[in-house]
Structure 1
Amino acid sequence: MDGTVLIADDDRTIRTVLTQALTRAGCRVHATGSLAQLSKWVEEGRGDLVITDVMMPDGNGIDRIPAIREVRPDLPVIVISAQNTIVTAIRANEADAFEYLPKPFDLPDLMTKANQALSRRPRKSDVMPDTISIPRESADPEMPLIGHAPAMQTLFRMIARVLNADLPVLIAGESGVGKTTIARSFHELSDRRDRGMAILTAADASEEAVSRAASKAQGGTIIIENPAGFDPAAQARLISLIEALESGPNRDEAPRIVATTGPDPLGDVAAGSLRSDLYYRLAGVTVVVPPLRARVDDILPLATHLLARAVVQGLPERTLGDDAASMLRAHAFPGNVRELENMMRRLALTASATVISAAEMREALNQQGGTRPIPAPAAMRSPVMLDSGSMAVKPIAAGAGRLSDSVEAHLQRYFDLHGDSLPPPGLYDRILHEIERPLLQVALDATGGNQLRCADLLGINRNTLRKKLTELNIEVTRRRKLM
């Protein structure tokens, strides 16, 4: 890899990690915690690639891209951000960023993107819009479209690419994943947002309702919820509507069609519940929304966001205690975002204090159903026993069980939740990540944050420990300080 990389991030640790990695790869690096300094370097003609954070002390990295493109049209910009929302992805795409990566990012992935950016030929046809068209007030939709998980970031990138395309969109996914919210985002975040939006459901799909929707959404968006649930006559009316919009005299003002459906629309066609000619008219672009079990890293951020939104809706202010958060994170959550939202609202109402306790979280998760009851906390168990080099925890009212047995049971439950389908690719690394993070955190706590003692306890050298703490983005505290 060859070239000069300009880094702007207010996190010194991230600047250090990226500087070291890029320097080892053969690049020259200039790093700063200021967008003003970044702009100065760009204006001086320095750099072959920019890597910038979004939220900086002196501005917004995405907002700075138009000025960079005005001075250096061919200078690629990679955006990294902890603001893992659909709006961030869309704004980065509209600003013509070379790539957008959420924090905590995968370092090898970022290095690959940097190499691609440095190796690409200048694009003479690149045109930078004068302004970013996504309004800031759209950053908090009705149901939070946030997510760091790869499946959600893939979804965000897809939405960003087709947001303003003149094509119908079919949004597929399980019940409760937020399909209607995403359908609304295609209207509220697009250049049609100042025009009308209408929603058609199976409960109201009469000829009058279809005509009313077409009139209300002129130049805007019509959302069709679960067309497979419409009766044959209603599906025929939808086909006639789409044909009229595509070929009518006012087709320049025709609304965009966005439909939501179950996880297997082609199965609905095969079963006869969805007309094939209607399906092909709706599926100009198909967007698949992942279930919550395929994005477990997003459960805690979603829960925190939902609790904060509950306050705006008039419910008591609540936060998750550390033990409650750990319990939620480790739980094989059987539902989707809607179920998580219902559980957070219930906890906001029933929690006895501002901080939700582990006992309250355990009760809420057990009420949620779908998995075995969550056992009592460790304080109610006997001490850990070591048996032939393997760890076993012996509950008071049950026989001893090896750690490997517990892991196997958890994995089997995870596979069972996917039914006849396989889990998303990358399972090996995800499982190692799940085990490695708590192991390091518990070991650090046990050694008071002393990395030398922690490395000795784990049987690894100190440099390896430092590297893992950085890779896993383990929070740096006074008791857990990177030396």
Structure 2
Amino acid sequence: MDGTVLIADDDRTIRTVLTQALTRAGCRVHATGSLAQLSKWVEEGRGDLVITDVMMPDGNGIDRIPAIREARPDLPVIVISAQNTIVTAIRATEAEAFEYLPKPFDLPDLMAKANQALSRRPRKSDPMPDPLPVPREAADPAMPLIGHAPSMQALFRMVARVLNADLPVIIAGEAGVGKTTIARSFHELSDRRDRGLAVLTSSDAGEDAIARAADKARGGTIVIENPAGFDASAQARLIGLIEAMESGPDRAQAPRVVATTGADPQSDVAGGRLRSDLYYRLAGVTVSVPPLRARVDDILPLAAHLLARAAAQGLPERMLSDEAASLLRAHPFPGNVRELENMMRRLALTASGAAISLSEMREALTQQTGHRAPPPTPSSASGPAPQAPEPTGQPSLPQAGSRLSDSVEAHLQRYFDLHGDALPPPGLYDRILREVERPLLQVALDATGGNQLRCADLLGINRNTLRKKLTELNIEVTRRRKLM
């Protein structure tokens, strides 16, 4: 790797780690904690690559990209940020950053992106992006689209890439993960935001209602919630509407169609609940939203955000005690983000002090599930932890001499107990197999240092099969553990 890299980050540790890594790779490095100094270096003609944080003491790194591109059109910019929101990903994409990586980032991944940026052919001219309007920064959706988990960051990057494409979108996921919020973000953060937005549900899908929605959303966006829940005649009307919009005389003003579905829309097709010809008209792009239990490290940041928003809406200011945070983090959240949101609003209203206590959290979880909440795990609420594959929360280590099947049986029994007299949602067999498969692959990859050939040999499966499963499960592979 050859070239001069300009680093702007107010965290001295990150500057040191990046400087050492890039220097060892053969680069020359200038590092600063100031955007003003970065701008000065750029104007002086220094640097072949910029790596910048977003939130800096003297400004916003993404906001500086247009000025950098005006001064040096061929200078690539890699954005790194702890502001792990969908808006950050979209803004970085629209500003035409070379790459956006959330903190904490994988150092080998960043080094690979830096090598690509330094090796690419310079662009002779790049169009200046339009400045982003203020309302995007101030957007406060019903459920916050924040998350550092790799699956959420992959989702954010996918949304950013297809935000303004003229393609229909399916947003798939379990109930409560925020599908409707993401669907609305395709409108509110896109070039169509000044046009109409209409939402169609199965309860109001008559011929007149569909026609009114199409008229209201002219040039804007139509959101179809759970098309598998529409009856056969309503699905036929939706097909007719989409065909008319695609080929009619007003197709230039046709609204974009965004649909929300369950986690596996193809099973709805196979089961006859969703017409296959409607599904293929909707599935231009499919975005899968992970359940909250698959991104455990996002639970506490989401809870803090929801408590802060409740306070901004007039409820008392609250925070989580360490003990309450540990207990919350171990909860399986079958209701996903919606369940967390309702719980935080209730605790903001009912807690007796500024800090939500362990007993108050235990009582809230008991009311939520109908069963006494288990004690928190001894691990720190803020410390690192693996993703939670098991739908019953963080599993404890098995006792010496116990069989794996005994531990699995105990966790499955607890999962059934959490539903009281009701049964878990249908599809349990495939769901459990998927959630056992993910940690098996992750642990095996970690044990083999990210070497996929060794991992496939360890598991006794074909390397192509392993790659296919890693893609399906959105498991990112790196050769080293995360350093920063």
Q: How would you bin the TM-score normalised by the shorter chain?
A: 0.7 to 0.9
Aligned to 2:454: none
Alpha-carbon shift at residue 126 of structure 1 (Å): 3.9
- The 1:402–1:276 alpha-carbon spacing in structure 2 relative to 1, beyond 3 Å, is closer
Moved more, 317-326 or 149-158: 317-326
Alpha-carbon shift at residue 364 of structure 1 (Å): 2.4
Aligned to 1:44: 44
Write out per-residue CA displacement over residues 50-89 of structure 1, whole angstroms, 9 at most, x where no aligned residue. Answer: 1001111111100100111111111111101111100000
Moved more, 234-243 or 356-365: 356-365
TM-score between both structures, scaled by the size of structure 1: 0.80
Distance (Å, rounded) in 2 between the aligned partners of 1:368 and 1:106: 37
Moved more, 214-223 or 419-428: 419-428
Distance (Å, rounded) in 2 between the aligned partners of 1:219 and 1:86: 23
Aligned to 1:455: none
- The 1:205–1:343 alpha-carbon spacing in structure 2 relative to 1, beyond 3 Å, is same
* 3-state SS in 2 of match to 1:286: strand
Aligned to 1:247: 247
Aligned to 1:22: 22
User: Is contact 1:91-1:134 (8 Å) kept?
Assistant: no
Aligned to 1:258: 258
Aligned to 1:421: 434
Identity %: 77
- The 1:278–1:125 alpha-carbon spacing in structure 2 relative to 1, beyond 3 Å, is farther
Alpha-carbon shift at residue 413 of structure 1 (Å): 4.1
Please list, as runs of the form range in 1=range in 2, the aligned pairs for 1:65-104 lying within 5 A after superposition: 65-104=65-104
- The 1:234–1:64 alpha-carbon spacing in structure 2 relative to 1, beyond 3 Å, is same
Aligned to 1:189: 189
Aligned to 1:368: 368
Alpha-carbon shift at residue 109 of structure 1 (Å): 1.8
- The 1:376–1:99 alpha-carbon spacing in structure 2 relative to 1, beyond 3 Å, is closer
Aligned to 1:436: none
Largest Rg, 1 or 2: 1
TM-score between both structures, scaled by the size of structure 2: 0.79
- The 1:142–1:170 alpha-carbon spacing in structure 2 relative to 1, beyond 3 Å, is same
Distance (Å, rounded) in 2 between the aligned partners of 1:282 and 1:290: 20
- The 1:189–1:138 alpha-carbon spacing in structure 2 relative to 1, beyond 3 Å, is farther
Aligned to 1:320: 320
Please list, as runs of the form range in 1=range in 2, the aligned pairs for 1:283-432 lying within 5 A after superposition: 283-369=283-369, 373-375=373-375, 402=399, 409=407, 413=411, 418-422=431-435, 424=438, 427-428=442-443
* Gap runs ≥5 in structure 1: 379-399, 433-469, 474-483
* 3-state SS in 2 of match to 1:420: helix
Distance (Å, rounded) in 2 between the aligned partners of 1:92 and 1:133: 14
Distance (Å, rounded) in 1 between the aligned partners of 2:123 and 2:438: 35
Distance (Å, rounded) in 1 between the aligned partners of 2:280 and 2:294: 28
Aligned-pair Cα RMSD in Å: 2.9
Alpha-carbon shift at residue 136 of structure 1 (Å): 3.6
Aligned length: 415
User: Is contact 2:179-2:289 (8 Å) kept?
Assistant: yes
Please list, as runs of the form range in 1=range in 2, the aligned pairs for 1:100-111 lying within 5 A after superposition: 100-111=100-111
* 3-state SS in 1 of match to 2:203: coil
Distance (Å, rounded) in 2 between the aligned partners of 1:189 and 1:258: 14
Alpha-carbon shift at residue 273 of structure 1 (Å): 0.7
Write out per-residue CA displacement over residues 443-463 of structure 1, whole angstroms, 9 at most, x where no aligned residue. Answer: xxxxxxxxxxxxxxxxxxxxx
Distance (Å, rounded) in 2 between the aligned partners of 1:134 and 1:273: 42
- The 1:179–1:154 alpha-carbon spacing in structure 2 relative to 1, beyond 3 Å, is same
Distance (Å, rounded) in 2 between the aligned partners of 1:21 and 1:161: 30
AA matched with 2:432: G
Alpha-carbon shift at residue 339 of structure 1 (Å): 0.9
Alpha-carbon shift at residue 375 of structure 1 (Å): 2.6
User: Is contact 1:334-1:369 (8 Å) kept?
Assistant: no
- The 1:413–1:54 alpha-carbon spacing in structure 2 relative to 1, beyond 3 Å, is farther
- The 1:410–1:366 alpha-carbon spacing in structure 2 relative to 1, beyond 3 Å, is farther
Moved more, 418-427 or 272-281: 418-427
AA matched with 1:39: S
User: Is contact 2:87-2:137 (8 Å) kept?
Assistant: no
Alpha-carbon shift at residue 354 of structure 1 (Å): 1.1
Distance (Å, rounded) in 2 between the aligned partners of 1:66 and 1:182: 27
Distance (Å, rounded) in 1 between the aligned partners of 2:25 and 2:205: 60
* 3-state SS in 2 of match to 1:194: coil
Aligned to 2:168: 168
Moved more, 121-130 or 293-302: 121-130
Aligned to 1:54: 54
Alpha-carbon shift at residue 332 of structure 1 (Å): 3.9
User: Is contact 2:175-2:335 (8 Å) kept?
Assistant: no
AA matched with 1:107: L
User: Is contact 2:3-2:118 (8 Å) kept?
Assistant: yes
Distance (Å, rounded) in 2 between the aligned partners of 1:299 and 1:409: 25
Alpha-carbon shift at residue 409 of structure 1 (Å): 4.5
User: Is contact 2:175-2:336 (8 Å) kept?
Assistant: yes
* Gap runs ≥5 in structure 2: 379-396, 416-427, 448-480
Aligned to 2:272: 272
Alpha-carbon shift at residue 213 of structure 1 (Å): 0.4
Alpha-carbon shift at residue 324 of structure 1 (Å): 1.6
Write out per-residue CA displacement over residues 310-339 of structure 1, whole angstroms, 9 at most, x where no aligned residue. Answer: 123332221111222233234444331011
Distance (Å, rounded) in 1 between the aligned partners of 2:251 and 2:260: 23
Distance (Å, rounded) in 2 between the aligned partners of 1:337 and 1:11: 31
- The 1:225–1:311 alpha-carbon spacing in structure 2 relative to 1, beyond 3 Å, is same
User: Is contact 2:327-2:376 (8 Å) kept?
Assistant: no
Alpha-carbon shift at residue 402 of structure 1 (Å): 4.3
AA matched with 1:56: M
AA matched with 1:421: R
Alpha-carbon shift at residue 43 of structure 1 (Å): 1.2
Distance (Å, rounded) in 2 between the aligned partners of 1:3 and 1:40: 18
* 3-state SS in 2 of match to 1:80: strand
Alpha-carbon shift at residue 263 of structure 1 (Å): 0.8
User: Is contact 1:334-1:370 (8 Å) kept?
Assistant: no
User: Is contact 2:168-2:282 (8 Å) kept?
Assistant: yes
Moved more, 130-139 or 92-101: 130-139
Say whether residues 1:116 and 2:116 are aligned partners.
yes
* 3-state SS in 2 of match to 1:421: helix
